[in-house]
Amino acid sequence: MSTLVSVNNLQKSFGGLQAVNGLSFTVEAGDIYGFLGQNGAGKSTTIRMLLSLIRPDGGTIDMFGYRMPNHRNEILQQVGAIIERPDLYKYLSAYDNLEIFARLSGVKTTRKMLMEQLERVGLGHRAASPVKTFSQGMKQRLGIAIAMVHDPQLIILDEPTNGLDPQGIADMRQMIINLRKEHQKTVIVSSHLLHEIEQVATRMIIIDKGRKVVEGSTQELFDPANTLVELETTDAQAAVKIARSRWQQHLEPSADTFLFRLHARDIPQLARDMVELDIPIHNLSKRHSLESLFLEMTGK
């Protein structure tokens, strides 16, 4: 696998606010790279720096072996992007929007080719409709068509599920997976929702206050051996019972609930033992330690 994106010690501040602070990461060819962080963590600023929309104060960005911004055009020829909302020319049709951005990307367009692109994202029947009549999901799909029109190697999607209904979110998720599976694209996708990233990403980074908190493959980060299980009970004696049982060594410090760190495969046994110990179970829920970390970080 080759490295498509290499970011080293990236810095950016706005006035007194340090938006990105010494951020480094790499994206390999074929990755769906999840970019995770709460709102204001520095995701969009970083993505805008990757696309040369914002000038970094320091650090380097190398993409496809070129340095940004010295080789801006060579890099952007191989990148398609949607930043935050897919804002388009509302007074123009879907076809006109696609044609304009295809020409700006240096693509020699034909009607047949553009119509095929619109068909691919399910907008063939609305090609002549003005974008102002489109739902958010349709705009998002048109945005994907625009991002893909020049057949780039790397697709950057900044918060692509924002404003979508549940069906739209599911469609977008599938579309991202397909970009990698069927079109062999590398995708960088940002979100403030862990479960969104978890479901699509092959590798991911969590950032907070412009700094990297953790980076790695999704498989590593969501290792089932690192599962946290939360038990809720009204029995005050339960703590004593648990302390005497085999689950004592898995107990995590917690103020108001019983929290266990164990392998996911042990959860059914834990449930059985709780029943045997006659502990009334009001809730037994699984969450990953990464989720705990993220929730703690985001204060939710």
Q: CA 153 → CA 30, 142, 180, 185, 216, distances in Å? A: 9, 18, 10, 5, 22
Choosing from 9, 17, 53, 240, the residue that interacts with another protein (CB under 8 A) is: 53
H or E segment to which residue 45 belongs:
helix 43-50
Q: Calculate helix-pair angle for 111-120, 94-104, nearest 10 degrees.
A: 110
Residues in region 140-169 near another protein by CB under 8 A: 146
Q: How many helices (H) and strands (E) does the chain have?
A: 11, 14
Contacting residue, 67, 72, 180, 211, with another protein by CB under 8 A: 72
* DSSP bridge partners of 252: 259
Q: What are residue 211's phi and psi, to 5 degrees?
A: -115, 155
Site for another protein contains 77 (CB under 8 A):
yes
Q: Give the interface size with another protein as a residue count (CB under 8 A).
A: 33
Task: Dig out the tokens for 181 from the structure.
Answer: 């599976």
Our CB check for another protein shows the closer of 72 and 261 to be 72
**Smallest distance from the beta carbon of 298 to another protein, in angstroms?**
23
CB of 83 to another protein, least distance (A): 5
- Interaction of residue 74 with another protein, rule CB under 8 A: yes
**76 is a contact residue toward another protein (CB under 8 A):** yes
Minimum distance between the CB of residue 135 and another protein, rounded to whole angstroms?
A: 17
111 binds another protein (CB under 8 A): no
Among 36, 51, 154, 229, binds another protein (CB under 8 A): 51
| Smallest separation, CB 17 to another protein (Å) | 12
Query: CB within 8 A of 159, min separation 6: which ones?
Result: 43, 44, 84, 190, 191, 192
79 binds another protein (CB under 8 A): yes
- Long-range (24+ apart) CB contacts under 8 A made by 132-137 are 132/90, 132/91, 134/94, 135/168, 136/85, 136/163, 136/164, 136/168, 137/164, 137/165, 137/167, 137/168, 137/171, 137/172
* Among 30, 59, 92, 264, contact with another protein (rule: CB under 8 A): 92
251 forms part of the interface with another protein (CB under 8 A)? no
Among 103, 183, 244, 272, binds another protein (CB under 8 A): 103
**CB 130, min distance to another protein, A:** 10
- Residue 17 near another protein by CB under 8 A: no
Q: Does 87 bind another protein (CB under 8 A)?
A: yes
Of the candidates 189, 191, 206, which has an alpha carbon nearest to the alpha carbon of residue 294? 206
Q: Closest distance between another protein and the C-beta of residue 52, in Å?
A: 8
Closest CA to 130 of 84, 100, 96, 86: 96
Nearer to another protein among residue 81 and residue 290 (C-beta)? 81
Q: Rule CB under 8 A: which residues touch another protein?
A: 48, 51-55, 72-77, 79, 81-92, 96, 100-101, 103-106, 146
